[in-house]
Amino acid sequence: MYHFIQKFHSGWAYLALLLLVFAVLNSFIGMSSKREFTAKDRKIALFGLIATHIQLVVGLILYFVSPLGSAVFGQMKDAALRLTSLEHPITNIIAIVLITIGWSKHKKGETNTAKFKSIAVFYGIGLALILIRIPWSLWFNK
């Protein structure tokens, strides 16, 4: 079961990242071109939000069924273990909170530019945080 969840978490990450990149780029393009915020733009951002939340749920399940969850307090001197057991989960939770804030703020935006800007800024920061805390060495070795 652990290996299936781990493979799913790694595979779903590709889709979540792709949707986030697409949402951020779409928002920057929409903001810079001063176009109207349409239902298509809302759906692009929503799909990015949903994908990251699914990734979070799967990641939390993985964390609590893996041996890494219990290793947090004993192995802080090991950089690789610290990354996967502490830094990666905490940073990504913060990133997903920021993405969720961006989604909520865009709904309150009164202008098209404000809606695009909320998504571009918060999703962009969330994406950057996710990218800096991916355990790349583990990802490319599988």
What is the per-residue pLDDT across 48-103, written as a single tens digit (0 to 9) for each?
999 999 999 999 998 888 776 555 555 667 777 777 777 888 999 999 999 999 99
The whole-model pTM stands at 0.88
Q: What is the tens place of the pLDDT at every residue in 10-21? A: 899 999 999 999
**Could you give the CA distance from residue 70 to residue 73 in angstroms, rounded to a whole number?**
7
Describe the chain by its helix, strand, coil percentages, rounded to 5: 85, 0, 15
The whole-angstrom separation of Cα 51 and Cα 48 is: 5
* Domain ranges for the chain: 2-140
